[in-house]
Chains A and B, each alone.
Chain A
Amino acid sequence: MLGVFGAFAAAQGDDVQTGSLTFAQPVLITSIGQSAGAAQARVVAIKAGIDAAYTQRATIEELEGFATLIVVLGASSKGLGAAGVNIDGEIAWATELLDKARELGIQVIAMHIEGGARRGPSSDEIITTFAPHGDYLIVKGSMPDVQWTADESANGNADGLFTTIATENEIPIAYIDATLGAVDVLIELFGIPPTED
């Protein structure tokens, strides 16, 4: 299942347009909240055939040369501990990172692909702070008015938080019901040609 909603619709073509947006390669993938979701996004990018680099906690300097930044939202106490930061420090770093991305003209895709298990006070603080800065949202969770048939714990949008953010900020959003569903979204957004068997 893949649903795309919002003020803009994902378009087809070699140079994919999402409303007035163009997504291009190369791509840098990083985490905001230091969960393992960014590592999963890397797998998604590999399977989509995208030229993507992955840094769990990218520095501002590492943004140079990239056309698109994928931020994977979700707080992990283990991950934050590993990075030696608390949630406030993470938000301060990510704010700087996204400001710099804007300054460099880098487009941003915000992902939440770890489902309901990656929701909670810290994750929600990150989501509400940074999802509005995305040019595109990808969420593993239920579409409005559509029955969620996968494991309930996998629904990252049971309360409609992402739908609200997308609507209020006029951000196109793709709903997926399994993390690997993001492969098809990225193929579409980046206009990856089909591979031959």
Chain B
Amino acid sequence: MRKATRSAFVWIGVGVLLLSATCFSVCGTAPTSHDVRPGYGVSEMRWLSDYLPALEGTAGDTPIYVLRGGEPGGALLLLGGTHANEIAGVMAATLFVERATVTRGTVYVIPHANNSASRYNSGVFNATTPEWFELTTGAGELRRFRYGDRRTHPEDQEPDPDVFVHYPSGLELDGDEARNLNRNHPGIPDGTLTQQISYALFALVNEEEVDILVDMHESSLTGRLANTLVSHPRAVDIAAFAVLDLEMDGIALKQEVSSEGFFGLSHREFGDRTDAFAFLIESANPGQEASIENPDVVNDPRSPLADRVQLQLRTVEAILANHALLEGTTSGISFTLPFALTELHGGNLGMFMR
């Protein structure tokens, strides 16, 4: 696609976002808009409701950025904001939309997978986390981003049941997990808003024949899952190769495999129910550490946001490289950035954004 055409798509996308922001102030339940500035690598913008029209106009609808490579290949779905308080995933997806160029295959990026969860912060793990955080760009502009919540906004969904029963497994969980997108997969088309979001993601994966799904999450600094790559059992070899490659590059990741009996999680359900190799990445977010008062979710030296975004995207890169190695390049996916991901380490994330 020529650059001029791409630019047209980008400006149409920006226009749609501005319109949606206007609508939000008037309509109340429309999808929340965010400061995402698509780069030249974005070929097209869609909405999640394109895959489930019932989502249109709801707080669960969310933009999908499509980046097509010059060479044919496979398809990747990159999810940020499944838990909207796990901001490294949101920002890794946002950075990808703003700066990445896909060279092979197609990448679908959803920075705010649960957009309803992005519009509030209940302080689920830490009551002193912020509503917003700020980054300064290379041009000196201050950009603001929402620090969201783990779950769908209660106003956007029917009251929580006493016990949430996962469909279709029948697994029983706490009632508020009815609003946790990563407990609701594979979703229900006419179910709750959270179930509909999940269903639409599955429709996307199936209709676009997605080969790889990466769901970017965060844990606390000291949590068991901090700095972990989880995969579906079908993807364990790709994950093992990726983890070992990253270790040699100085990034220490633990490796886990989906639990057989814990349903509703992305890596388990997408791996079981679609042809995609499903992964979940966990970086370590100081905002999820209950013991830290007023956590600095951007600059905490123990785990700064730029380092966490670097970990997320380098892990994606390693997954893609080893997927091509093990599965062949016909379904390969690759991307480039105008900077080395290692430059993010110890850096100011805002300097790398548009």
The yes or no answer to A145 lying at the interface (CB within 8 A) is: no
The answer for the CA separation of A151 and B253 in the assembled complex, in Å, is: 11
Q: Which of A78, A83, A115, A154 has the most CB of B within 10 A?
A: A78
The answer for the CA separation of A42 and B239 in the assembled complex, in Å, is: 12
Instruction: List residues of A (26-79) whose CB comes within 8 Å of B's CBs.
Output: 35-37, 39-40, 42-44, 76-79
User: Which residues of the partner chain A approach B261 to less than 8 Å between Cβ atoms?
Assistant: 81-82, 84
User: Which residues of the partner chain B approach A40 to less than 8 Å between Cβ atoms?
Assistant: 240, 243-244, 255
A115 touches B252 (CB 8 A): yes
> With contacts A39-B239, A115-B252, A153-B252 known, is A179 near B257, CB below 8 A?
no
Instruction: List residues of A (94-127) whose CB comes within 8 Å of B's CBs.
Output: 114-115, 117-118
The answer for the CA separation of A1 and B92 in the assembled complex, in Å, is: 34
Count of residues in A whose CB is under 8 Å from the partner chain: 27
The answer for the CA separation of A76 and B239 in the assembled complex, in Å, is: 16
> With contacts A42-B240, A43-B240 known, is A178 near B247, CB below 8 A?
yes
B257 touches A76 (CB 8 A): yes
The yes or no answer to B256 lying at the interface (CB within 8 A) is: yes
The answer for the CA separation of A170 and B25 in the assembled complex, in Å, is: 73
The yes or no answer to B241 lying at the interface (CB within 8 A) is: yes
The yes or no answer to A187 lying at the interface (CB within 8 A) is: no
Closest to B255 in A: A36
> With contacts A81-B262, A151-B252, A178-B247 known, is A42 near B257, CB below 8 A?
no
B240 touches A178 (CB 8 A): no
Instruction: List residues of B (223-262) whose CB comes within 8 Å of A's CBs.
Output: 227, 230, 233, 236-237, 239-241, 243-244, 247-248, 252, 254-262
* Residue of A35, A151, A180 touching B244 (CB-CB under 8 A): A180
Q: Produce 1/0 per residue, B285-309, CB < 8 A to A.
A: 0000000000000000000000000
The answer for the CA separation of A116 and B115 in the assembled complex, in Å, is: 37
> Which A residues contact B (CB, under 8 angstroms)?
35-37, 39-40, 42-44, 76-79, 81-84, 114-115, 117-118, 150-151, 153-154, 178-180
With A36-B239, A77-B259 given, name 19 new contacts (CB 8 A). A36-B236, A36-B240, A39-B239, A39-B240, A39-B255, A43-B240, A78-B230, A78-B259, A81-B259, A81-B262, A82-B233, A82-B259, A114-B255, A115-B252, A151-B252, A153-B227, A179-B243, A179-B247, A180-B248
